[in-house]
Chain A
Amino acid sequence: MALALSNFAQDVSVFFIEDGVLQLLVPQNPTVIDAKAYYKTFAALEFYDIENIYVCKQSLLQRGIETSQLCIPVTLIEHEDLSKLLSKQQHVMSF
């Protein structure tokens, strides 16, 4: 969805919060349960000029995950910054 929107020259930001941060954890091997390895598509975000990739710092901490364990470079944000950043967006879609 993010990739599709960027094709229409929209300024897209992606936020990973709560269990969403687990999507970025590597190494994963989703093929063993016949799931798609779509974490691999996150690397394509930068080629679509999607550079605002935000990850909630507290969500990572709670799950004992460090940024070095994530599959792409991200911008860490504090809990309280999320609401400010979200309010700046024209449209918000949750997955």
Chain B
Amino acid sequence: MILHKISASPFTHQSLQHCLHRIDEIDGLLLTQDAVYAVIHRSLNSKLAELGSVFVLKEDAEARGVHVKSNNIQLISYAEFVELSLKYEKVMSW
């Protein structure tokens, strides 16, 4: 049970794609910094919709003008980020 943390833009870096190939059903995915742009990425957006636990850091999305419309993506605060890192056994930064 791993929380996968992505911080690089999926348009420039492959880390989110690499992570999505390897993520387990029970794992969580957290998008921070420029990784929040995954929400406007057409093909990745549908892949994110298939995952059970997808989190987006609210401040980072708001700062970049990214609107999260999908129901299965949860916007979280920094405090909730800390809670998540405790809830999952491990945090993996890609």
Contacts and interface: CB of A to CB of B under 8 A. Distances in A.
Interface of A: 18-19, 22, 25-33, 35, 62-65
Contacts, number: 38
Given A63-B11, A64-B42, A19 B63 contact: no
Interface residues of B, number: 14
Contacts of B41: 63
A32 B37 contact: no
Contact of A19 (B9, B60, B65): B9
Given A18-B11, A19-B9, A19-B11, A65 B60 contact: no
A18 B62 CA distance: 20
Contact of A26 (B12, B40, B63, B65): B65
A32 B59 contact: yes
A29 B62 contact: yes
8 contacts: A19-B37, A22-B9, A30-B63, A32-B63, A33-B59, A35-B63, A63-B37, A63-B41
A6 B65 CA distance: 29
A27 B62 CA distance: 9
Contacts of A28: 63-65
B6 to A, nearest CB: 15
A63 B66 CA distance: 11
B34 interface: yes
Nearest 9 CB-CB pairs, A to B? A28-B65, A33-B63, A30-B63, A32-B59, A25-B65, A29-B62, A19-B9, A33-B59, A19-B12
